[in-house]
Amino acid sequence: MSDTFEFIDAEYATRTTANARTPAPSVVQMCAWLDVSRSGFYEWRDRPASATATRRGELAALVVRSFTASDGTYGYRRVHADLLAWSRPCGPELVRALMREQGLEPCQPRPWRHTLTESDQLIETVRIK
């Protein structure tokens, strides 16, 4: 049911701000078309966020903080470890889901490796001397 109410809310918001030429259907009309009660829609809209939604929002902000502090290199395991170090208990799969929702993809830098072959620049400088 909340999906229907979310659709009505999003549709009404986009129609009223984006297209000034065509009048947006009223909430009453959309509720009638989707066969939901108008009072149910307004009750859903005015209801405060649940404790779970509030906690997920706080954790999402901390996930972004940890991810940006690592220059985008931390994956969900290291971000989870950061959250535990900051005394914010949560599961690694929750951190993984929050990162996926926000589009945070880690980029692992390539490790520095010692090579035994000489580069072309080094060979050029030796030949010039």
pLDDT of amino acid 122? 56
pTM, 2 dp: 0.63
pLDDT score at 37: 93
| pLDDT for position 54 | 95
Is residue 121 included in any domain, yes or no?
A: no
Please count the structural domains in the chain.
2
Exposed/middle/buried for 51, CB within 10 Å: 0-12, 13-18, 19+? exposed
Residues 59 and 40 grouped into a single domain: no
Sign of the torsion formed by the C-alpha atoms of 25, 28, 32 and 35: positive
Q: Could you read off the pLDDT of 49-97 as tens digits, one per residue?
A: 899 999 999 999 999 999 999 999 999 999 999 999 999 999 999 999 9
Within a domain: 26? yes
> What range defines the domain where residue 19 resides?
2-46
Specify if 124 maps to a domain.
no
Residue 116 binned pLDDT confidence (cut-offs 50, 70, 90)? confident
98 plus 58 within the same structural domain:
yes
Examine the domain organization and report whether 98 and 57 are in the same domain. yes
Residue 126 has pLDDT above 80, yes or no: no
